[in-house]
Structure 1
Amino acid sequence: MSNLGIDWAKVRRERARLIILKALAEQTNGTLDSSMIEEILAIFTIREERVWIHEQMEYLERREAVNLTSAGSVKIATLTKVGRRHLDRDIAIEGVTRPSEPEN
């Protein structure tokens, strides 16, 4: 059986990045730490080491979708206007799954 040439690791990373942005958007202050993000990703069956999660958060920071600060072994992400615009479908951030169309 063929996998149709799909890079599932890439799909998983891009999906995780969207989940991170959505989780941040649900917070009153737009902020979560990597330990909370790790728990949220696990709900979506994305169970990865903290270093992998930090890599996804850093990817989002490089694209100005989040601001990161470090606190010991965790990183704290805060959603930016660019991240919000991706969620609102005003822009598309490369390497982040596009949110679904809103239902009318």
Structure 2
Amino acid sequence: MQKRLTKSRSNVVLTGTLAGIAEYFGIDPTIVRVIYVFLSFGLIGAPVVLYVLLALVIPAGPRTNSYGHDNPYYGRNNTSQKKTKERKQAEPVDDDDWSDF
């Protein structure tokens, strides 16, 4: 299987471009982002233009669900209802003391 450069769908900060580059080279996306920030300061904004071009040119990665599969129905439970936690009740506050100053 041939490796393709695509935007990341699982590690997105702005467009997933830098994370996609990191996944392509097999390194941590944080390292690529830090290198990008230093290059942006050192090369006076030229990497910003490069980032916009890469964001437009690099295709989006395949859609995956939370289980990491392409098929959205793979591994899904039969219960489609979300369980929500019960909200905690607020405690009454006694604001009679105005001597904060």
Structure with greater helix share of residues? 1
Structure of greater Rg: 2
With structure 1 as the length reference, what TM-score do the two structures score?
Answer: 0.25
Structure with greater strand share of residues? 1
Larger RCO, structures 1/2 (Cα 8 Å, 6+ apart): 1
